[in-house]
Structure formats: C-alpha cells, structure tokens
Structure 1
Amino acid sequence: MKTAAPASQAAGMLTDAVVQKIDMAGGVIVLKHGDIPNLAMPPMTMGFDVADRKMLDQVKAGDKVKFHVEVMKGKPTVTHLEAAR
C-alpha cells in the first residue's frame, strides 16, 4: 500500500492552494489550486481524495495551504498537505 509521501520528497513539488471545503466523511478536500506540474493540470477548483484522513483535521475552509498530489488507484490524491507560510 502506498502511503503519504515523505516531506523531503514532496517539498520540491508543492502547489499553492486555498481550502474551499472539507468532507470528513468522504475523505475529500476541495482546493482552489495553482498549476500542478507533475499532473500537467491547470489552475482550478476541484475535490481531491486524501491519502490519510488525518490531514483533514489540520485545516479548515479558507486556509492557505501547500500540497502535493499523486494519482493513486486512478484518482488524483493529496499525499502531502501543510499550512502555507
């Protein structure tokens, strides 16, 4: 099973975003994000699964964050999430 990426690995590929909504029950975070180079994804607002639901306890709607996303089980999934500084 793939787990969350180590901070050192994800740190070089973080994308800025603002949390729009959190669905604790579904394990989904909705982010308004910038370009995601590793997925060739332009800026947009969309929901992402999270690799570890504990990440959702650390943020709330309106928070500025940095995140990393990988395709897991065919879905873009947040593997690293931290508060923006």
Structure 2
Amino acid sequence: MKKLLTFTAACALATALATGAFAAEYTKGTVKKVDLKGKKVTIIHEELKNLDMPAMTMVFKVADDAMLEKVKEGQEIEFSADRINGNLTVVDLKE
C-alpha cells in the first residue's frame, strides 16, 4: 500500500511539472533604480499575485548578482519574485 501511495504522489508531481503548475509567474515592471553596491533593484510593478501584493513601487533584492548587470533604469522587464529568508527577492528575469 505504501508503494502505491508513493507511486501516486510521484505521478501527480510529474503531471503538475509537465503541465506547468509550478511554472514561475512573471509580472511586468519598469526598473526605476539599480543599486549595484546594495545588490538591490527598485521596480514599478503590476500586481504580484503570488505574493498577494497590489501594483506599486518596491525595492527587491536579487537572487543572483548577475541580474543587476542585465537591467538598467527605465527598462521594461518581466520578472518573478518571491519571499526568500523574509526578503522580497527577484528570482528570475524573462529574457
């Protein structure tokens, strides 16, 4: 019985991954400021549904410092964000 439950759970996870149920949700925004020293970016963004936040301007940390080299002030971007260790963080940039 335990093997059947494990198999069923594995199948459900594989199906969810294949259908994109766990795909990152991207939000549109405009880069207002890039802080290389502080490793942060300020973004005027649309609603962040996964964080239950309305459209606003916010400062985000970045999950990877290389992201800071990919953006510049005034640039339109699509990004995904999440709360990591209590900090709002850009985790991916759509290219």
RMSD: 1.3
The answer to whether the aligner puts 1:76 opposite 2:91 as a matched pair is no
Alignment correspondent of 1:9: 23
The answer to whether the aligner puts 1:42 opposite 2:59 as a matched pair is no
What runs of 5+ residues in structure 2 fail to find an aligned partner? 1-21
Give TM-score scaled by structure 2 length: 0.74
Give TM-score scaled by structure 1 length: 0.82
- Looking at secondary structure, tell me which structure has more strand per residue: 1
What runs of 5+ residues in structure 1 fail to find an aligned partner? 1-7
- Looking at secondary structure, tell me which structure has more helix per residue: 2
Report the Cα distance in structure 2 between the residues aligned to 1:82 and 1:48, rounded to whole angstroms. Answer: 16
- Higher relative contact order (CA closer than 8 Å, sequence separation 6+): 1
- Whichever of the two has the greater Rg, that structure is 2
Alignment correspondent of 2:70: 58
